[in-house]
Structure 1
Amino acid sequence: SNIDAKVTKRLKIGVQVNGRQEVRTNPGVPGGDDYWLPRFAILRNLPYERPYANDNPEYLNTISQNDANWGFINYKNAGKFKQEWRVLQLNGDAEWQVPGIKGLTLRGVYSYYIADLLYNNQEYTYRTYTYRPATDVYEQTGGSINPWREKEQVKQINVTTQAQLNYNANFGEHSIAATVVAERISNQRRRNWARSIPPSNALALMYFATFADYQDQEERSARVGYIGRVNYNYANKYYVELSGRRDGSSAFPPALRSALFPMASIGWRITNENFMKNVFGGHLTDLKLRASYGRLGDDNYNEGFNSDQRGFLPSFFFLEGYRYNANGVAIINGQPLVVSRDAGVPQTNISWFNSNMADVGADFTLFNGKITGSWDYFYRKRTGLRALREDVLVPNEIGYLLPFENLNSDAVYGHEGSLTYNGKAGEINFNVGANYLYSRSKYLEVYKPRYENSWQKYRTAREDRLNRIDWGYEVDGQFQTQEEINNYPVNIDGQGNRTLIPGDLKYKDINGDGKIDGYDERPIGYGGPLPNINLGFTLGFSWKAIDFNMDFSGGAGYTWFQNYEQRWAFQNNGNFNTIFEDRWHRADMRDLNSEWIPGKYPANRYNQGGHSNYNKTSTFWAHNVWYIRARTIQLGYTVPARIMNMVRLNKARFFVNASNLFSIDNVAQYNIDPEIQDDNGLQFPQMRNVNFGFNLTF
């Protein structure tokens, strides 16, 4: 609910309150993911293994992979997972026009957010059976004997307060706006989690005697900031903005807690100049050029964490102290005792890392608003990313690691643009739009890395290189005959090619040493699941009482590698992926001397993920994904006003909309979502939704 009130001529206040209660339930499957597991079961379970013994739903069947039997994914057999959220957001603001100074206002803002999470999960033990037809008996032959009961409670409280002083004034063709803000943010999170081993599925409550684990956590953080901003424009032609903020964060030691972050931008509406009045025949309605540069700080000191950086830093890492119940126990008089140990060298040199951002761009309008568009080039350089001084060696006997420091840097750069056409054909108003974003990121400074040889430097160096790069082997076709294999000079499988048959992969011997090994790897793909190119398309029209809108989004410039169930047949003794029907095979499967029939994939081997065809990331399994997805499509009808007047309604609109209705992409043959995250393609695809509804205005 929203409440706004004008208390006096100069004082306005407002209150906004919103909240939600959310309950999510599903069977208590391991990991709490009852969406992924059924999809996994499709490729894990063998086709002749039924979920229920004798197809009787009262008896789970004993199969080779009981944990992937979709038959147990229900509340009766698996247990129950329940997650409850209760969230309340309260915002209040007050604005007072200061008397005696026109355009000067004082504004205060208060925000209070509280969220409670109650998480309950119980995973049942269950029995599986084998049906004996001769005796018509269901014999227990397996099941799960590992009960799991857990409960978690989390309370999150965020409080933000602001005091603002705003000034706006016009002096002829000069306009000035200024803002000064003082801000304080405090966050608090409390969490406790308990796990027990219940002796029976019927015992939903947790008892001390069955406790197996308990965690109790409390985290606090705070930030204080002071912000200033001045805007100036002359005749809507020249624009200047100067701003800066000084922030302090509790995340860092007192001496490094505060930092200043300045920003500036300029703009020039060139079409307001006299010399531009008749340029392009007057068809250029508006053109604004702009540029900005600024620095922002980030106190997330674990940002940029890498696996070679030995773990995340805990809160208050800059303090000396001890850690209780960490890294084992002490044995005294034959009895294990929980101990405290030194927390290690305080990390006293970590502070903010900075994002230095530059942007140049233009906004334009043609033909009195029929065509509008914008274009930007941006470059963001982050400095002060945490790292270790790798050139300083510390003996293991000391028992400590070197502290982290703000040493490294990286950059993100790219460009984006949009273009929209607004038109009219008779009584039809329509618009067509498109936008794109291209970006890449790269490492810049990396503090004095150590390399043992030139190959290691080539393979692992990061400085001044693009990140998100996948390395692998280049495939140069498939063997066509056994004679070709016998005469091939390069040792592919490490066994003189004796494990190879026609249809197997040929790898390029990049370094020419006569064998395929790690020295032949080269960059072959874009690392990570995020596209480097993002696209968007919109189309809309209205005709009388009917309106229609379509919104498409797309992506390209990222690589998906087939793996696991998508790479070799019968992975982990599982089912057969139908994509491998298109494979090299004998004309007569019972005659080893019959001719080879070519196919897309190498000949099937039973669960041989270690074979040279499958144990190497290569261009054969790489796909540079692109897609265009129908994000939303909506059709609406607004009831004419003459009918609304009869029923005393101001407005009524009926609509039907759909989201994620379809996609056009280059991975549809693998039955996966193009916005793929998993190598095996088993992630749950984006939901397709169709909604019907109406809006009434009284």
Structure 2
Amino acid sequence: MSYIGFITQQVKARNGVITNITMKENAQNLEELVVVGYGSQKKENLTGSVSSVSSKELESRPITSVKAGIQGLVPGLQVTNSQGRPGEDNTSMIVRGVGTLNNASPYILIDGVESGTMSAIDPNDVESISVLKDAASAAIYGSKAANGVILITTKRGKSGKPTVNYNGTVGWQAATGYVKRMHAADAAEYLNKALLASGKSARFLPEDIEKFRDGSDPYGHPDTDWQDLAYQGNGFMHQHSASVNGGNDNASYMLSAGYLNQNGIMKHSNREQFNLRSNVDVKLSNKFSVHTSLAYINNKYEDPTNSYVGGGSDQIIRQVNLFAPWVPYKNEDGTYGTLGDGNPIAWIDLDQTIKRRHQNFTGILSIDYQILKQLKFTAKGAYISQWESTDDFMKDIQYNPSKYHGPNSLNSRRYSWNRPSLDLLLNYNQSFGKHNLKGLAGYHLEKFNYDELRAYRNSFPNNELTDMNAGTSSSQTNSGYTRELAMMSYFGRMNYDYAGRYLFEANFRADASSRFAPGNHWGYYPSFSAGWRISEENFMESSRSWLQNLKLRASWGELGNQDALSDYYPWLATYNVGINYPFGGQLESGVAQTSQKLSTISWEKTTTWGIGLDVMLFNYIDFTIDYYNRKTTGIIMSVPVPGSYGLSAYKDNVGAMRNSGIEISLGFHKRWGDWGIHATGNFAYNKNKVLNLGGVTEQIDSYLINRVGEPYLSFYGYVCDGMFRTQEEADAYTKEYGNPFGTSKTFKAGDLRYKDVDGDGKLTSKDRTTIGTSQPKFTYGFNLAPSWKNLDISMLLQGALGVYRYFNGEVYGDFTGDTMHPCTAWFDAFDAETNPNGKFPRIAETSKTASYPNTVSSYWVKRTNYLRLKNIQVGYTLPKQWLSHFGISNLRVFYSGENLFKVDNLPINIDPESPSGRGSHYPQVSTHSFGINLTF
């Protein structure tokens, strides 16, 4: 016996005996619909590369953003969560590698409308997420899809009596790790070592070091733990989401509300979010239906800031990392201990924060009209607006009479934007015997309006009067501007299949943008894909009991990108007015050109081709493998010009880059009586290469380089070839290659040894080369979810391989004085007498050694491969007979942990996803939560 959506069963019938058959639902039904651009398709009919995430994979996790929730779940989607500041985790997303030297973020749509960010939605409102990774699936979005497309679909009402759902979690957060730093006594001893190595006198006497160690003089010889003082936030958070949905054959609705309160691990660092959503569908007649979506989200953020550059907690964290432990937090008279830059804990204590408020509104009205049985017309209008305010008030903090203070100041920013859009669609669907044809024709129109205003004043009467009017008018500055963009598109898609066996799809889109000059407004983006379901061939009939799907896919297409340009009018040269020129002995007012622009500048173009294989075995094992090759040409970048040119470098379509790789996913989904298991794994490999930089072979930016033939944003420095273990080795090396890099520094035992890469017999800056890439070569994720009766357990592991980070001397700490705090890794520094096999270079003053971390080399550029326990969850669903008397249809209680465990090879306790640089970022956090899922 068989039925669509259920597993085929064979039961022996007996004469005269009634046989009851309980159908078993097929959890891996190939008829499952997958959301694609401007519609949906059966999973079995997909010919492009599309990965999906369901709401079940996000439910019950205490995630504060959708981006964090999908990390490790989609092959080829690289998600990096670099810090843990509430609401501002700096999560980046890259689909199939970085494809441009400019903005490489994917195109994000919520319910078919451009969002630009995933922060505009509560994770509890998500029904499904589709990631369109190749041109075949993404070309319907044309010039906005070069970096991939992410489609988020929200939950909608279902026919039936009203159902009320509540999800709530309560938990706390803690840092995944801090760089461990020396206590005052140890730091003093190591500073003495550095000074003595330079032939100088020790700064601290033995009795000073003993007082640091025994704490007998807490003000004169303190042992200040700046990290402990800074990270005293309780990290408490609670999140609540309630929804009601229901309806009948003519109307359905889903209403939801959410609230999030998240305190950071640093005091006065917090986020508060409130959100509302309403999705309503009404069938006015057999041919006419209306769909509406309204969403509002309001976020308030606070973050501690400092007293001299503002901008948030990054500078506070930098000072916390730098201040020596013998600098007192407070003096005996209650005043703050301080150096020239102030006291970072004073900034926190006095509730000096930067306040940001963010609001987002989305309104969508969609009308469907069934013209014919095979033909449907859809009109969708949308309006999205965003408003944000930022107020950064820096207080006048009087540390003590001998230190500079003030003036206080306020820096304010207000911006808003809106994007009205219109989509008109015609969908055609017709079958002729075994021939199935679907067609789509569409028109898209949108406009983007942006407005920004900035204002500044200082010298406020006190720290409590924070209105802009209270500052002195003589100090005021202001600026502002408005921008407009418009875009118009025509697009179409055709799908054909014969008996569900031979599949073909073609897409085409034409985009026109106001960003480019007349004559270059339009860009054209085609794609083609085909599939062969071998499992549906007659010669495969004998294998269908164990092989449900065997499909080959191939695709080719072109995509575009205009978001590489921050300039709204990149083809128009700019001029300054009021410039004086001498004519006839007098100054005459005129204009002067300030920039050169090319009217020929146009879209970046990405050409992608790929092949794939989909397999399903025994109705519970699925396997997918894809190979892709993606080349981007016409990358917009600055073209170098000679100094005599008189103007700065101009932009042109001159760069090129290639990404190629393999993606693999495997799933196992089966139940045995009371037992069940759901297991998935994914693996992705990406090879990135810069092909063209507009006539130059390399572009260097500090310790990063883009070089033709090398991966994007590689690290650039010297190649370390070990360490001198004796002075004889160092002297012999110096005799052959000279002093390091032409300086007066000398090599000594315990210093790093460098390779003469260019072979000229000298160590110079020309010996620098690429020494690792900031982009991972491999990403992977594993999800294991066994269940038994009402008990469920799930565990998500994710990680990356072939990725590097560079952390400079501020992370490791140096030996310069009061603005130093060495990390404990220096305990394993080389010492000819006490530690001749030490792994770290010798202890020395920064100015006296070429082995310090700020000399970028392969020793300090660290491989940051990692494996992380991203989530673990244990839940129990109470038996229904316990609940029915209370009108409760489902109640599940659970524990959930995020970022609980990691494995890496870093010599310091810093999170491997941390950004490169000086380490002044908000630490990544782990979360423990308890919660309930309740349904009435």
Specify whether residues 113 and 496 from structure 1 end up closer, same or farther in structure 2 by C-alpha distance, changes over 3 A only. Answer: closer
In 1: Cα distance, 2:768 partner to 2:490 partner: 51
Residue 275 of structure 1 and its aligned partner are, at CA, apart by 2.2
The residue that corresponds to 1:456 in the other structure is none
Residue 440 of structure 1 and its aligned partner are, at CA, apart by 2.2
Structure 1 counterpart of 2:431, which letter? N
The residue that corresponds to 2:559 in the other structure is 296
Specify whether residues 445 and 524 from structure 1 end up closer, same or farther in structure 2 by C-alpha distance, changes over 3 A only. Answer: closer
Contact 2:570 2:601 in 1 (8 A): no
The residue that corresponds to 2:345 in the other structure is 70
Residue 407 of structure 1 and its aligned partner are, at CA, apart by 2.9
Structure 2 counterpart of 1:219, which letter? R
In 2: Cα distance, 1:142 partner to 1:339 partner: 49
The residue that corresponds to 1:575 in the other structure is 821
Q: Deviations over 1:8-44 (max 9, x none)?
A: 1211111111102211123342565654345433431
In 2: Cα distance, 1:222 partner to 1:104 partner: 30
Structure 2 counterpart of 1:102, which letter? K
Q: Deviations over 1:592-644 (max 9, x none)?
A: xxx77442212211333763554532222232211111222222222222222
Contact 2:280 2:292 in 1 (8 A): yes
Query: Aligned to 1:354, which of 605, 609, 613?
Result: 605
Considering only aligned residues, what root-mean-square deviation do their CA atoms show, in Å? Answer: 3.0
Residue 181 of structure 1 and its aligned partner are, at CA, apart by 0.9
Residue 272 of structure 1 and its aligned partner are, at CA, apart by 0.8
The residue that corresponds to 1:653 in the other structure is 892
Q: Deviations over 1:537-594 (max 9, x none)?
A: 100022111222111110111112342134562367412221111112364xxxxxxx
Identity over aligned residues, as a percent? 25
Specify whether residues 353 and 43 from structure 1 end up closer, same or farther in structure 2 by C-alpha distance, changes over 3 A only. Answer: closer
1:293-692 pair list within 5 angstroms: 293-302=556-565, 314-319=567-572, 322-323=575-576, 341-366=592-617, 368-387=618-637, 396=644, 399-400=646-647, 404-449=651-696, 462-488=707-733, 489-493=736-740, 499-526=746-773, 528=774, 530-567=775-812, 569-570=814-815, 573-585=819-831, 587=833, 597-608=836-847, 611-667=850-906, 669-692=907-930
In 1: Cα distance, 2:303 partner to 2:409 partner: 15
In 2: Cα distance, 1:324 partner to 1:661 partner: 59
Query: Aligned to 2:324, which of 37, 46, 63?
Result: 46
Query: Residue 670 of structure 1 aligns to a residue in which SS?
Result: coil
Residue 655 of structure 1 and its aligned partner are, at CA, apart by 2.2
Does the alignment pair 1:5 with 2:275? no
Residue 383 of structure 1 and its aligned partner are, at CA, apart by 1.7
In 1: Cα distance, 2:516 partner to 2:320 partner: 50
Q: Deviations over 1:185-212 (max 9, x none)?
A: 1111100000112243343122371443
The residue that corresponds to 2:487 in the other structure is 223
Query: Residue 676 of structure 1 aligns to a residue in which SS?
Result: coil
Query: Aligned to 1:150, which of 411, 418, 437?
Result: 411
Contact 1:492 1:612 in 2 (8 A): no
Specify whether residues 659 and 496 from structure 1 end up closer, same or farther in structure 2 by C-alpha distance, changes over 3 A only. Answer: closer
Q: Deviations over 1:483-540 (max 9, x none)?
A: 33333333242579973322111222334443211233333212x2x32211101000
In 2: Cα distance, 1:394 partner to 1:272 partner: 64
In 2: Cα distance, 1:439 partner to 1:636 partner: 36
The residue that corresponds to 2:701 in the other structure is none
In 1: Cα distance, 2:589 partner to 2:681 partner: 62
Q: Deviations over 1:261-309 (max 9, x none)?
A: 1111101101111223346x9643311110111111211243xxxxxxx
| Structure 1 unmatched ranges of 5 or more | 130-139, 303-311, 452-458, 588-594
Contact 1:287 1:363 in 2 (8 A): yes
More displaced stretch, 111-120 vs 485-494: 485-494
The residue that corresponds to 1:240 in the other structure is 504
In 2: Cα distance, 1:496 partner to 1:406 partner: 41
Structure 2 counterpart of 1:45, which letter? F
Query: Aligned to 1:107, which of 362, 372, 378?
Result: 378
Contact 2:828 2:835 in 1 (8 A): no
Residue 429 of structure 1 and its aligned partner are, at CA, apart by 0.2
Structure 1 counterpart of 2:301, which letter? R
Contact 1:630 1:662 in 2 (8 A): yes
Structure 2 counterpart of 1:26, which letter? D
Contact 2:305 2:313 in 1 (8 A): no
Residue 661 of structure 1 and its aligned partner are, at CA, apart by 1.6
Structure 2 counterpart of 1:664, which letter? V
Structure number with greater CO (CA < 8 Å, separation at least 6) is 2
In 1: Cα distance, 2:449 partner to 2:594 partner: 23
More displaced stretch, 631-640 vs 676-685: 676-685
Query: Residue 255 of structure 1 aligns to a residue in which SS?
Result: coil
Contact 1:34 1:73 in 2 (8 A): no
Query: Residue 444 of structure 1 aligns to a residue in which SS?
Result: strand
Contact 2:740 2:764 in 1 (8 A): no
Structure 1 counterpart of 2:675, which letter? I
In 2: Cα distance, 1:657 partner to 1:229 partner: 43
Contact 1:196 1:213 in 2 (8 A): yes
Query: Residue 192 of structure 1 aligns to a residue in which SS?
Result: strand
In 2: Cα distance, 1:91 partner to 1:177 partner: 25
Structure 2 counterpart of 1:74, which letter? D
The residue that corresponds to 1:27 in the other structure is 304
The residue that corresponds to 2:538 in the other structure is 274
Contact 2:706 2:713 in 1 (8 A): no
Query: Aligned to 2:421, which of 155, 160, 176?
Result: 160
Structure 1 counterpart of 2:905, which letter? N
In 2: Cα distance, 1:118 partner to 1:330 partner: 42
Query: Residue 40 of structure 1 aligns to a residue in which SS?
Result: helix
The residue that corresponds to 1:92 in the other structure is 365
Does the alignment pair 1:60 with 2:313? no
Specify whether residues 257 and 472 from structure 1 end up closer, same or farther in structure 2 by C-alpha distance, changes over 3 A only. Answer: same
Query: Residue 608 of structure 1 aligns to a residue in which SS?
Result: helix
* TM-score of the pair, normalised by structure 1: 0.85
| Structure 2 unmatched ranges of 5 or more | 1-277, 699-703
More displaced stretch, 572-581 vs 229-238: 572-581
Contact 2:745 2:849 in 1 (8 A): no
In 2: Cα distance, 1:51 partner to 1:15 partner: 57
The residue that corresponds to 1:119 in the other structure is 390
Specify whether residues 496 and 481 from structure 1 end up closer, same or farther in structure 2 by C-alpha distance, changes over 3 A only. Answer: farther
In 1: Cα distance, 2:705 partner to 2:927 partner: 45
Query: Residue 88 of structure 1 aligns to a residue in which SS?
Result: strand
In 2: Cα distance, 1:196 partner to 1:329 partner: 31
Specify whether residues 657 and 212 from structure 1 end up closer, same or farther in structure 2 by C-alpha distance, changes over 3 A only. Answer: same
Q: Deviations over 1:412-459 (max 9, x none)?
A: 1111110112234552101222101111222224444489xxxxxxx9
